[in-house]
Structure 1
Amino acid sequence: MKAVPKVNTDGLYLEDTLVDDAFYGVVPFYAPLPELPPETDPEAADEPEEEVEEAEPEIAGYVVGVPVPQGLYLPQFDLAAWEAREEDVQTDPTGYWVEGLTPEEIEELTKPQPQEPNPVDLLGEELTAMKLQSIQQQSLIGSMGSELATTKLTTIEQQQTIASLGSELAAAKLEIIQMKGGMAQ
Structure 2
Amino acid sequence: MLIQVHRIDENGFYVEPVLIESEEELYETVTMFEETPEGERVQYTTQQKRADIMEIAPPEGLFRPRWVEGEWTEGLSQQEIDELTKPKPLTPSDMELLQQENASLIMKVAALEMQNEQQAQDQAALIMELTEKGVL
TM range (shorter): 0.5 to 0.7
- Report the secondary structure of 2:56's partner residue: coil
Larger fraction in helix = 1
Query: Partner of 1:108 in structure 2?
Result: 83
Ranges in structure 2 where 5+ consecutive residues have no aligned partner:
29-49
- Report the secondary structure of 1:9's partner residue: coil
Structure 1 residue 66: deviation in Å?
A: 1.2
Q: Deviations over 1:54-93 (max 9, x none)?
A: xxxxxx9510111210011110011xx22xxxxxxxxxxx
Higher radius of gyration, 1 or 2:
1
Structure 1 residue 134: deviation in Å?
A: 0.5
- Report the secondary structure of 1:97's partner residue: strand
Instruction: Identify which of structures 1 and 2 has the higher relative contact order when contacts are C-alpha pairs closer than 8 Å and 6+ apart.
Output: 1
Query: Partner of 1:15 in structure 2?
Result: 16
Q: Deviations over 1:105-134 (max 9, x none)?
A: 22332343766854x765554443222200
Q: Does structure 2 conserve the Cα–Cα contact (< 8 Å) formed by 1:11 and 1:61?
A: no
Ranges in structure 1 where 5+ consecutive residues have no aligned partner:
29-59, 83-95, 160-185
Structure 1 residue 145: deviation in Å?
A: 5.7
**Does residue 1:132 correspond to 2:107, yes or no?**
yes
Query: Partner of 2:31 in structure 1?
Result: none
Q: Does structure 2 conserve the Cα–Cα contact (< 8 Å) formed by 1:7 and 1:14?
A: yes
Distance 2:92 2:12 in 1: 35
Would the alpha carbon gap of residues 115 and 2 (structure 1) be closer, same or farther in structure 2, given more than 3 Å must change?
Answer: farther
Identity of matched residues, %: 21
Q: 1:75 is aligned with what amino acid?
A: P
Q: TM-score, normalised by structure 1?
A: 0.42
Query: Partner of 1:63 in structure 2?
Result: 53
Distance 1:18 1:3 in 2: 5
